[in-house]
Amino acid sequence: MDGTERGWDRAAWTGSRSLKKGRPVLAQHPDPAPPPARAQLNSQSGGNRLSFNMEMFFTTLAVLLLAVSVSSQEMPYEHMLSQLQACPKECRCPPNFPNAVYCDNRSLKHIPTIPPFTWYLYLQNNLIEVLSADALRNATQLKWINLNRNKISNEGVEDNALKAMTSLVHLYMDDNLLTSVPSPLPPKLEQLRLSRNKISKIPAGVFSGLNRLTLLDLQGNKLQDDAVTEVSLKGLSNLVQINLAKNQLNTMPPGLPPTTTQLYLDGNNIEKIPDEYFKGLPKIAFLRLNRNKLANGGFRRNVFNISSMLDLQLSYNQISEVPFIPSSLEHLHLDHNKIKSVNGSEVCPVSSAMLNAYFEERGPRLRYLRLDGNEIKPPISRELMVCFRLLRAVVI
């Protein structure tokens, strides 16, 4: 499983103080961290590399906030006793974290009846085919459910089984048999993960009323351009992260809300980027378009000149010229393209005459540049190093 599958919405930043030749080792991204009782946060180290995992940060923050809420609203003894006594025989309910029920890796074919004070429910790695409303009827306080790697199809999602989870915040249904985004969805949902299903349809109105949804993961499905439209995405008014990598898209997805910060489109068939596309995305900071069919004729040279952009990845395309680099950009991946040379004065966002005065306040922020897999030979041009004075690693 590669970085796109494991860590779609995390920005892997790898830096070094010395010039490197060849492909660096990029950070591997762990799965989202579970609640405190089973948290496993793995860090990586090596040389002077700095790895910054965005999804791990946000997920861990959400977990900590929920944990604080648990401690500040301590479960009464009688409720805890009732919860432990009602623990399904197929599952495990740790006394030190009574709000969690662990039913993962049990070869279950159905969801057991879940006790009423459950906040976190783990059902991943089973053989479940039906998402039963009856089994979850008592679990009205459920905030987090993990149904990854089961056998749930759209037909197996009983009517209103999801909508009835009125307190649900995180819904994980990766690696199932869904062919469409299930509907209706829980009204308070903040994270929806449906990667590696067989989804080819997003029903109109499925996201209506989900004004708390900030993360949508649809990578590794069968979505085409006619499925990803302004109509199908309507309602995502506070979306921050969206992953549409490894689908069958030929064009940039329309109708994304202006709140979008991270957009992941790796492994599609995109050839063109409309001139005004990013005007509707004023907060975009992390953009991944690796492994598409982009060439210089498919986009204007300054299409990425966006003041909010921090991390731009265009690896494994057919680009022959370095695009304009905005001053805000810190990480640029252009490896495995068709670039033969880099003209530092052309890609620099500031003229040489103004560079010294400009640099003091808001000079170019580029720190990491990857150019390996092209036809470029060292040394890197002096103009490039003069312009981007914060560069710590150039890989050629």
Query: What local confidence, expressed as pLDDT, does residue 81 receive?
Result: 66
Query: What local confidence, expressed as pLDDT, does residue 96 receive?
Result: 86
pLDDT in tens, 255-287: 999 999 999 999 999 999 999 999 999 999 999
- Phi, psi (deg, nearest 5) at residue 187: -70, -25
What is the pLDDT averaged over residues 26-39? 39
pTM exceeding the 0.95 threshold for the entire prediction: no
Query: What local confidence, expressed as pLDDT, does residue 328 receive?
Result: 94
- Phi, psi (deg, nearest 5) at residue 273: -125, 115
Query: What local confidence, expressed as pLDDT, does residue 359 receive?
Result: 56
- On the question of a cis peptide bond just before residue 326, with omega within 30 degrees of 0, the verdict is no
151 is written with which tokens?
Answer: 């056998």
Query: What local confidence, expressed as pLDDT, does residue 289 receive?
Result: 99
128 is written with which tokens?
Answer: 């479940």
Query: What local confidence, expressed as pLDDT, does residue 253 receive?
Result: 97
Bridge partners (DSSP) of residue 217 are: 193, 243
pLDDT tier for residue 350 given thresholds of 50, 70 and 90 = confident
Cite the DSSP H helix spans in the chain: 3-6, 54-72, 77-85, 344-347, 355-362, 382-387
**Residue 168 CB burial class (10 angstroms; 0-12, 13-18, ≥19):** buried
Measure the CA–CA gap between 201 and 180, rounded to whole angstroms: 5
Give me the amino acid identity at 344: G
Q: Which residues contact residue 360 at a Cβ distance below 8 angstroms, ignoring those fewer than 6 apart?
A: none
